[in-house]
Amino acid sequence: QKSEKYVILYASQTGNAEWIAKNIHQEANERGFSGECHVMNEHDKVDLEKIEVLIAVTSNTGDGDPPDNAIKFFRFLRKIKSKTFFAKTRFAILGLGDTNYANFNNTAKRLEKRFLELGGAAFYEKGLADDATGLESVVDPWIANLWPALEKVCIKKDKKSNGQIEKIASSVANISVKEVKDNKTNLQSIKTEPENSLTIVTRDESTKTVATSENTFNGVTVSESTLNPQPSDDKTLVPIRSERKGSKLIIDLSDLESVTQLTSLPRIPTAICKITKVDSEIKKTLSKNKYSFQSIPTFIHTPTRVFGAKISAVRCLTHPTALKRTLHLELDVKDHRDDIEFVPGDVFGILAPNDEEFVWTLLKTLGIDHDEAQKTVNIEAMEGAELPTHLKDAKSTSVYELFRYGLDLTSIPRKALLRLLAEYATDPEEKKTLLFLCRINQFNCLREQLPTLLDLLLTFPSSRPPIERLLDVLPPHQPRYYSIANSPLVDPNNLHIAFNIVHYNTPDPFAVSKWGICTPWLDELSGRITTTNVRTPLLSPVEIPIFMKPNEHGFAIPKNTKIPLIMIGPGTGIAPFIGFLQHREKLRDIRRKMSTIGLHARREIDKQFGDLWLFYGCRDREKDFLYKDELEGFVERGVLKQLEVAVSRAPSAGELGKPKYVQDLIKIRGKEVYELINQKGADAKGMAKGINDALTDILVEHGNMDRVEASKLLLTWIQEKRYLRDLVKFFAI
């Protein structure tokens, strides 16, 4: 028997899963299905036990953990005792994950397992999308094939179409390509083709005539060199383009010769947001040199209270010629000590704004002047629509505040943005190209350039969608998370962090300079220090907005000091372990001072502390061996039992032939590592998929088990909090 309606529950950390879930809901309604859509933590809005058709869309955070807005839902599921709770429920699950992490799409897999345990049955195979290769390659076909499966379990009534399908059909026609055999034709010799055709000059200078339908594209002659600028072999003639000013993208249209029809285009994004001007008042904004946590708009939500931390000191940890610059910052929080409790391994978030110059350039490109951008407005939902979570409280704000603090302007765009730009493109060739880029292969190629919204607008100048429509498709701006790199027993008034300044060029032939959001901003605020390993106090400390993140993943130093600890931290992954070592050394010093009686008191105290091992990796021992002096000091003082360093790029003469990577070092010391974990109950704390594979190899070789058994044992250790990976997907950029 078919159900009258469906229920969609979503869990989203960065907004992607929410956006996908709400689009599925919208399209389902247009196709004639009835249902509801809620965030998982608001599951009490529906009677779960009576749900007959359930669709779950979820992302992951940390090491395959549920997003923050699903924690309550998972607790609820754990407490259910009845094995027939979901006996009436047929479900489908779409997971958004990343294969760079060992527990790929673990949240979706956990949901499926629990739904089945509670008596549910899947009506459609789960989809597991991979952000490493592009979510769309799984999400798009999963949604396309959802509809016939949903029709088998859910009643489909008369369509409530808003013209989406008809609109797509009328705006995209079959495309046929015929060869023009004169390969020597150049731009000057191309003649205008008949009215309903399009001439394209490809890279080999041959021409193609593309017939188009009468109601789509009028006859236009275009050179691919316009959209496909050829890079010069002379690097001096190809300046690195600044991301802050945007740059035109290189669009490869050569595949058009094999295209006969544009299919599987994304839906035109539904209009959700509208902007209501409150009055003509100009909201005052603070320049970046006067940035304060008080300037954060009230519509920005965080898991805990936002407060101001002052950048009190900075130290550059790398040599000026190192491939990357790494900074160590000290953030003064003594004015908030009553509200802050932290231990080594804890994480906090920084609310870094989008670059001010970039924002103003983008707004100018959209035709918004300074005064207009700073007028007070409210963001409201269109009739029958629901605002995205990150805009629900956007009242008495401004367009400038939305773009500076509320919207992600620099991450790889969703295909929906390309579809939206195509809808508003007035130039037929630009419209055609944008639709062409919506195809999976072309979209994945575009991703290689890491395009921003500004880049797209500069490449397609005829497309200028209204601000409201951009609010419909742009994801929320994300906090950047950092591990605390000090112990409160050593420095209770400051939070220490270490990070690389994210700045790189996209590969040739693109050669675009890309910057992170947070790290260059922190670098600028702290004075762009380059002197190596010299602590520099700031004469005028700058205050930045931060908030503490609850430690859900358990990545913290064990309270039982007898437990040996194996720490694995390549690059800046070493930062939290500096706090671990400081903490363990301070605890040992405190116990020694308290136990001075007896001939062997010191020896007995030392027995209360398990061995600490650290596996660390860097590129060049002389240029980017982070915290070298501190680590060698820990070894000399007996705090650190074993320090193993892998040098990947420039090993010294004495290191030639030695392992270049941390996982290789772990395998070489496999017997000792196995004994520490298996016999002495050591905790293993590390990161990255390669480390997980190395530990699996050790268990196979030294534990006499196959890889399946080894993987199960690692999973058990994870559940017992003996193997913890600092795999919160930090946005430390």
Whichever domain contains 116, its CATH number is 3.40.50.360
* Distance (Å) of CA 3 to CA 23, 152, 701: 21, 9, 53
21 plus 142 within the same structural domain:
yes
269 plus 182 within the same structural domain:
yes
Q: Which domain CATH number covers 619?
A: 3.40.50.80
123 plus 220 within the same structural domain:
no
Element (H, E) at 359: helix 356-365
108 plus 190 within the same structural domain:
no
Residue 265 covered by a domain: yes
Please, which residues bridge with residue 178 across strands? 209
Q: Which residues contact 242 (CB under 8 A, 6 or more apart)?
A: 513
CA dihedral 209, 210, 216, 217 (to 10 degrees): -30
Of 91, 125, 153, the residue at which a domain comes to its end is 153
**CA distance linking residue 383 with residue 381, whole number of Å:** 6
DSSP-based helix, strand, coil % in the chain, nearest 5: 35, 20, 45
Q: In whole angstroms, how large is the CA radius of gyration of the chain?
A: 28
708 plus 587 within the same structural domain:
yes
Of 452, 474, 496, the residue at which a domain comes to its end is 474
Residue 67 covered by a domain: yes
Residue 491 covered by a domain: no
Residue 184 covered by a domain: yes
Task: Classify residue 452 as exposed, middle or buried by CB count within 10 Å of its CB (0-12, 13-18, 19+).
Answer: buried
Contact 733, 516 (CB under 8 A): yes
Residue 541 covered by a domain: no
205 plus 82 within the same structural domain:
no
Of 444, 474, 504, the residue at which a domain comes to its end is 474
Residue 197 pLDDT: 33
Structure tokens at 33: 């299905």
Residue 1 pLDDT: 86
**CA distance linking residue 295 with residue 288, whole number of Å:** 10
CB atoms under 10 Å from CB of 65, counted, come to 21
Please, which residues bridge with residue 277 across strands? 377
Residue 241 covered by a domain: yes
* Distance (Å) of CA 356 to CA 288, 405, 434: 7, 10, 28
140 plus 235 within the same structural domain:
no
Task: Classify residue 656 as exposed, middle or buried by CB count within 10 Å of its CB (0-12, 13-18, 19+).
Answer: exposed
Residue 663 pLDDT: 80
Q: Which domain CATH number covers 188?
A: 1.20.990.10
Polymer length of the chain? 733
Residue 496 covered by a domain: no
221 plus 368 within the same structural domain:
yes
Q: Which residues contact 375 (CB under 8 A, 6 or more apart)?
A: 277, 278, 279, 280, 281, 282, 283, 398, 399
570 plus 705 within the same structural domain:
yes
* Distance (Å) of CA 538 to CA 310, 329, 332, 333: 10, 11, 11, 15
Residue 594 covered by a domain: yes
Residue 295 pLDDT: 74
Structure tokens at 21: 């879930």
Q: Indicate the number of domains in the chain.
A: 3
Q: Which amino acid is at 300?
A: I
217 plus 175 within the same structural domain:
yes
pLDDT block averages, 10 residues each, the chain of length 733: 95 93 94 96 94 96 85 95 95 92 88 96 96 88 95 84 48 37 29 32 30 30 34 33 73 75 79 87 54 77 92 96 95 90 91 95 95 94 92 95 96 92 94 89 86 96 97 95 95 96 82 89 93 93 91 75 85 92 93 67 76 90 94 95 87 62 82 72 51 66 67 64 47 37
Q: Which amino acid is at 480?
A: R
127 plus 176 within the same structural domain:
no
**CA distance linking residue 550 with residue 342, whole number of Å:** 10
Host domain of residue 27: 6-153
CB atoms under 10 Å from CB of 256, counted, come to 19
238 plus 131 within the same structural domain:
no
